[in-house]
Amino acid sequence: MDAVYARQSVDKKDSISIESQIEFCKKEIANTDYKIYTDKGYSGANTNRPAFEEMINDVKMGNIERVVVYKLDRISRSLLDFAHIIEVFNKYKVEFISQTEKFDTSTSIGRAMLSIVMVFAQLERETIQQRVKDNYYQRGKSGLYLGGTAPFGYNKADTLFNGKKTCMFEENEEQAGFVRKIYDMYLYNNKSFTFIAKEINTKYKFKTNMGNNWSACAVGRLIRNPVYAKADADVYVYLKSKGAVMNNDISDFTGENGCFVYGERKNVSTGKFTNLANNFVTVALHKGIISSEQWLKCQYKADEGIQLKNSGRGTYTWLSGLMKCGYCGYAVTAVKSRNKNIAYINCGGRKNGFCNERKRVIHLKDIEQIAETKLLDKIKTLNSDFDFEINSDSKQANELKIKLAKVEEDIRKLVDSLLMLNEVSGRYINEKILELDKKKKLLLKQINKITMESSSEKINKRDIGKYLKNWADYKTEQKKNIARTLIKEVIITDEQIEIIFKI
């Protein structure tokens, strides 16, 4: 059987349609027995396409003798992917034909020419990607809409900017009023992100801009997002202090418009608006919703409440930081009963008021027993060349780093204040800076000493017997180190406890 494969990522005036590709390919088919595979709306950047995957399965089943495409880049725009595809075709003795390029893969010259063409196809793809990226950053610099769903509180509206069609945000009166309510709840009613999320989900009809239930993270992003701020000079100074690259002069921050933040995050574990290093900030075309004063007060409050990333420091279980709810995907934490005798689990989704799938109480000891059995069974199966390192996790070093960050922040504030002080005040400030600098150097010395002294423990075949023999005697921290080295996640549902290992 012959196979005709056609792909079209998007409908464009200058692109050939699926139907036209099929008609061209039929010219190469002499066999009346053929099957057509089409992927519409899928990129050639990868092979994650339903019809393509079906065709490859048919190839491996021995049902296909020839694959015909209109052009090489219809099957793939990645040289690496294409080379792998050709290997599969060769393995199952499948002939490959490009209708427009006329390549014969049965000869070495044909295969060489095929590779050369694919090099240029990939070059074209990468050039297009760079062009799109450059255009994205240029649009951002101009304050234009960068695509995607409008933030909660706004609707998209068509507009003209410098003679070009684009979109801008217009206030959604009902949602904008609720945005103000959320800011008031956080600032004046002293409610946490988690409490606000649960309140919205249980008492109000509003969903997020993506149509989902609210979570603490979603509320945090809304509070942090400068798209809502009526950005003035104070907002400019704050965002710049967060490491952002400011596209506009401070004089453009007139206290009327919101701001766009865009760019690549180096550390995806931090919140999108928490650390703005390597990100760009531009005054947008739309009007802000929240006053500069209120927005900044919320930022200062959020800054004081910043928590370290969950590192599994829970004291109730050696599975801290590894457990996930199998229904909503949120982290699962261990909770003690009031009498402190029984520990059970709770997920973040349930705390936020939208995960009600779990119907029974699951005790922590039951999860630990299952996880322990599976973990020890896994250790028994490790190969002799297995070598994994467990880094020591020093609580003392972490506390010192927190103190160091506070000292560095105090120094920065004092340095900034020097610009507004007279000579006498400046001398006192300089003395304080010198005092803090000495404290900073002492903290660095202590951190370095702890780092140098802390040993790293290796798990290898020689140690497996020790772990199996001494597991019951290990303390929580020792078990936690081993678990976090070998286990990626523990997925919990009412029906089962699934352990996903890293190896």
Alpha carbon distance, N-terminus to C-terminus of the chain: 41
More confident residue, 387 or 192: 192
| Residue 315: per-residue pLDDT | 61
* Nearest CA among 185, 187, 147 for reference residue 168: 147
Q: Which CATH number fits domain 154-304: 1.10.10, 3.40.190, 3.90.1750, 2.60.40?
A: 3.90.1750
Q: How many CB atoms within 10 Å of residue 247?
A: 18
Q: How many CB atoms within 10 Å of residue 289?
A: 24
| Residue 455: per-residue pLDDT | 39
Between CA 352 and CA 358, with CA 354 as vertex, the angle to 5 degrees is 105
Q: Name beta bridge partners: 160.
A: 165
Mean pLDDT of all residues belonging to the chain = 78
| Residue 269: per-residue pLDDT | 46
Q: Tokens 């402190």 — which residue?
A: 340
- pTM for the full model? 0.45
pLDDT(120) > 90: no
Distance CA(486)–CA(388), nearest Å, equals 8
Q: Tokens 């684009």 — which residue?
A: 166
What crossing angle do the helices spanning 216-224 and 193-203 adopt, rounded to 10°? 110
- Known catalytic residues are 9
Q: What is the domain partition of the chain in residue ranges?
A: 2-129, 154-304, 323-392+457-501, 395-453
Distance CA(314)–CA(335), nearest Å, equals 10
Joined tokens for residue 44: 């050639």
Q: pLDDT tens digits, residue range 482-495?
A: 888 788 889 988 88
Close Cβ partners of 56 (under 8 Å, ≥ 6 residues apart)? 47, 85, 88
pLDDT(31) > 80: no
List, edge to edge, every strand of the sheet that includes 245-246.
Answer: 245-246, 279-287, 257-263
Confidence of residue 392 (pLDDT cuts 50, 70, 90): very low
* Nearest CA among 278, 342, 251, 318 for reference residue 481: 318
pLDDT(143) > 50: yes
Q: Which of 204-213, 214-223, 260-269, 366-375 has the lowest mean pLDDT?
A: 260-269
Q: How many CB atoms within 10 Å of residue 141?
A: 14
pLDDT(370) > 60: yes
**Amino acid residing at 279:** N
pLDDT(386) > 70: no
* Nearest CA among 137, 172, 138 for reference residue 152: 172
| Residue 267: per-residue pLDDT | 53
Average pLDDT over residues 466-491: 80
Distance CA(441)–CA(358), nearest Å, equals 51
**CATH fold of 2-129, please?**
Rossmann fold (3.40.50)
Joined tokens for residue 239: 């965002």
pLDDT(279) > 90: no
Close Cβ partners of 182 (under 8 Å, ≥ 6 residues apart)? 196, 200, 219, 222, 223
Close Cβ partners of 263 (under 8 Å, ≥ 6 residues apart)? 245, 278, 279, 280
Q: Which of 141-145, 157-161, 406-410 has the lowest mean pLDDT?
A: 141-145
**Amino acid residing at 90:** N
Instruction: Render 298-309 in DSSP notation, one character per residue.
Output: HHHHHHHT----
